Amino acid sequence: MRQLMIFLLMLSAGVARAEFSHSYIDQHQLSVVPVNGIDIAYRDIGRQEDPVVLMIMGLGASHRVHGDKMVKGIETAGYRVIIFDNRDVGDSTRFDDWGQPTVWWQLLKDKVGLSVNAPFTLDDMAADGAALLDFLDITKAHVVGFSMGGMIAQQIAVNHPQRVASLISVMSTTGAKHLPPPTKEATQALTNLASGSAAEGRDEMMRERGFYPESMPRQMMAIFRAGDRSKEVSTIRAKTLVIHGEDDGLIPPAHGQHTADTIKGAELVVYPGMAHNVPEDILPRMLERMVSHISKSDLASSAQFNGG
C-alpha cells in the first residue's frame, strides 16, 4: 500500500523534486466561482484581449505547480493564461467527506473489469474547465494539460470540441490497457523514497509545493474509472501536440506515442533527459515548442476564418 501511495504522489506533473517558484503566480488575484455545483478556484493572468491558454495540472496538484517560468513564458509570448485548481485540490471544492477509497479493492475491481467507485469522473473535471471558460465568457482556448491534466485536456477536446483552439498533452496517456506499466526502476525508486525520513516529511514537502496528498487517491479513482479512452480520443480533431519525456518511467514514452498515433495529425515531441517532470534545462525548449504550436494554430484558424 505504501508503494502505491508514493506512486500516486509522484504521478503528478512537475514531480515533487521540481523547485519552480510560484511567487509571480501568487501576485495575481485568486478568484473562486461556482460551476457544476461546486466551486473552482482560478487565476487570470495576462491581457484580456490576448488569445487564451487554459492550463490544467496533474494528480493532486494545485495551479501553483505550473510554476512562474511556465506561466510567465506563455504570457510573455502574447497569451492570456487561465490556471485553476481541479476539483478536490487547493481552493476548489474538496471531497474529504467522501472519504478515502480502499485502493487495493478498487484496483482489483478494475483489473477484473468491474466499475470503480469514484466521487467524480474525468468527464466531470473536463466539464469544470469548460464551465470556467463559460463563466469568463471565453469562446475558445488553447488547452494544455500535464499528466492527469493531459487526460482532462483530452476529454475537453472530446466532449467540448468547439471550445478547443488547439491541444497540448504533456506526459499523459489514453489509458489503453496494452500500454506498459511503470518501469521496475521507477517502482524501486518510489519504494526507496517511501522509507525512513523521506516518508515522514513527505506530506509537508508536498503541501509546500502545491500538492494535496489526501486528494490523490480520489482523483486516481476517476482515472481508473475512465479506463481505456482510446476510442474517444481518436475523435479529437483539434491541432494537437503531444510532449513526453524519453526517460519517463512512470508513464513510459509508449503512452505518448500511442496518444499521438490515436489523434489524427498529432505531432509528437520526445525530450531526452526528461522523466515525469519538466527539468529546468528543458523548460525553455518546451516553452518555445508549445508557443510555436499555439501560434501556428492561431494562424491556421485565422486563415480559415478569412477564407484562406
CATH number (domain holding residue 242): 3.40.50.1820
Of the given ranges (158-162, 198-202, 209-213), which has the lowest mean pLDDT? 198-202
pTM: 0.91
Model pLDDT, residue 33: 97
Segment 280-307 shows an average pLDDT of: 85
Share of the chain above pLDDT 70, in %: 85
What are the cell numbers at 104? 487495493
- HSE-CB of 299 using CA atoms within 13 angstroms: 6
Domain that holds residue 56: 2-305
Q: Is the pLDDT of residue 16 over 80?
A: no
List, for residues 82-133, the tens digit of each pLDDT value. 999 999 999 999 999 999 888 778 777 877 777 888 999 999 999 999 999 9
Segment 140-163 shows an average pLDDT of: 97
Confidence of residue 3 (pLDDT cuts 50, 70, 90): very low
Hey, is 69 helix, strand or coil?
A: helix
Contact 241, 289 (CB under 8 A): yes
**Burial of 97 (C-beta count, 10 Å sphere; 0-12/13-18/19+):** exposed
User: Please, which residues have CB within 8 angstroms of residue 236's CB and are 6 or more apart in sequence?
Assistant: 154, 157, 158, 161, 167, 263, 264
Angle between helices 283-305 and 68-76 (to 10 degrees): 40
Hey, is 179 helix, strand or coil?
A: coil
Model pLDDT, residue 188: 62
Give the DSSP per-residue string, 193-253. HTSHHHHHTHHHHHHHTTB-GGGHHHHHHHHHHH---HHHHTT--S-EEEEEETT-SSS-H
Query: Is the model more confident about 41 or about 216?
Result: 41
What are the cell numbers at 299? 494562424
Confidence of residue 73 (pLDDT cuts 50, 70, 90): very high
Measured in residues, the chain has a length of 308
Model pLDDT, residue 25: 97
Say how many domains are in the chain.
1
Model pLDDT, residue 292: 97
Confidence of residue 229 (pLDDT cuts 50, 70, 90): very high
What are the cell numbers at 230? 482510446
Model pLDDT, residue 196: 47
**Phi, psi at 122, each rounded to 5°:** -60, -35
What are the cell numbers at 172? 499523459
Confidence of residue 1 (pLDDT cuts 50, 70, 90): very low
Closest CA to 132 of 219, 212, 52, 58: 52
Model pLDDT, residue 201: 64
Alpha helices by DSSP H, listed for the chain, are: 2-10, 23-26, 68-76, 103-111, 122-135, 148-159, 184-193, 196-200, 202-208, 216-226, 230-233, 253-262, 283-305
Q: What is the mean pLDDT of the chain?
A: 88
Confidence of residue 17 (pLDDT cuts 50, 70, 90): very low
Confidence of residue 299 (pLDDT cuts 50, 70, 90): confident
Q: Are strands 80-84 and 38-45 parallel, antiparallel or unpaired?
A: antiparallel
Share of the chain above pLDDT 90, in %: 70
List, for residues 174-206, the tens digit of each pLDDT value. 999 999 988 877 656 554 544 444 555 666 777
